[in-house]
Amino acid sequence: MKDHHRITKRENALEDTLNLKDSLNIRVISKSGQVIGKVSQIRIHPTKMFLEGIIISRGIFKKPIYIGVSYIRRLSHESFILKVDPFVLLKGKKVLDSHGRNVGRVKDVVRKEHSNDLKEILVGSSFRKNFSINISNIKSFGESIMLKPNYHVKKKYFWEKSE
């Protein structure tokens, strides 16, 4: 690195900072270690000059995700590591009952405003109407979503009238 004139008061030395330009196109990793995508934008506050969040590009056909700084654990030259597993990534995952039977797939995720706090998931499958499952009925999240034993899926098919 070239020798620089240093003009600072309390700021870190140049060697102890990150170059934001080099942070573009590096991977973003969730709390569980899943690679979500790559950083396409780094957003800063216009007057206070601090990091507000990042925009993650997930590919051509997938919607980008904006992650606020409160959900970012660590920044490095290799990756951004998040404090959470974003619930918006649940779309398309299988939903299984407590016996391991396929209930359907997640069609949509209902969150509390724009946070990563989940309220419910909307599940759909072939020959069955879409239905919602409250967060209190979900046992675990992973490659699929496992429901608690006390939750019983009603078999309501699309040709039946709504009650």
Q: What is the pLDDT of residue 124?
A: 86
Same domain (yes/no): 76, 106: no
CATH code of the domain covering residue 125? 2.30.30.240
Q: Residue 94 domain-assigned?
A: yes
Rounded mean pLDDT of the chain? 86
Domain hosting residue 67, numbered range: 19-82
Report yes or no on 123 lying in a domain: yes
pLDDT in tens, 82-138: 999 999 999 999 999 888 888 889 999 999 988 999 999 999 877 777 888 899 999
- Max Cα distance, the chain (Å): 75
Domain count, the chain: 2
Quick check: 132 and 87 in contact, CB under 8 A? no
Residue 27 within any structural domain of the chain: yes
Q: Return the pLDDT at 86.
A: 93
DSSP helix/strand/coil, 128: strand
- pLDDT tens per residue across span 38-83: 999 999 999 988 899 999 999 898 899 999 999 999 988 889 999 9
In a domain, 154, yes or no: no
